[in-house]
Amino acid sequence: MTASRFVPFGSEKIRDEPLLDETMEFQYGVYELEGINDTNPLRVPPHIDPTTMLFNFQDSHAGLEVADLINSTGCLSATAVEKTANFIPVHCQPGEFLVLAGHVLRRLVSDIKHSVHRVKRPVGISGFHLNYWIVPNLDTSCNFGEKKEDVAAYLARVFPAALKSTVQT
């Protein structure tokens, strides 16, 4: 069984020190207004979380949209999906939360697609999402065919920008 743990949004800020596996995508938890010139409803561009799963609790304005990947095959990048897929708004009732598959889960479980998602909000509305990621230990093996590597090496290869200041390869 792979060891993993919940990582709450902003936990690295509370302790005032980042951990290797808590540095990915955490800047997207709070959506602030851009001021009086706020004309762009896109708050977070399409992306894939470099984790196993994301548990997402939305405020009453929602805003999370998930790409419809039903007819998509092969290697799916957020950039390619953004150009071709329809994005479907996702809403929850109070007390409900969403579970999204991350990139590492797709690597560990071959028949699952990761979730390409974005956040759009009405212009002039700020809000928040409370996010918890499940992050495997970075030394967990995620071998794929002939490619032998652990989670840290895989993430450094696939998400170099997110990890460039934290993971030494």
Tell me which fold the domain 12-157 belongs to: Jelly Rolls (2.60.120)
Neighbouring residues of 16: CB distance < 8 A, sequence distance ≥ 6: none
pLDDT, residue 35, reads 58
> What is the pLDDT averaged over residues 91-109?
82
Q: Which of 5-9, 84-88, 114-118 has the lowest mean pLDDT?
A: 5-9
* Every domain of the chain and the residues it spans: 12-157
Q: Which of 39-43, 48-52, 63-67, 123-127 has the lowest mean pLDDT?
A: 123-127
pLDDT, residue 88, reads 92
- The pTM of this model reads 0.66
Q: What is the mean pLDDT of the chain?
A: 71
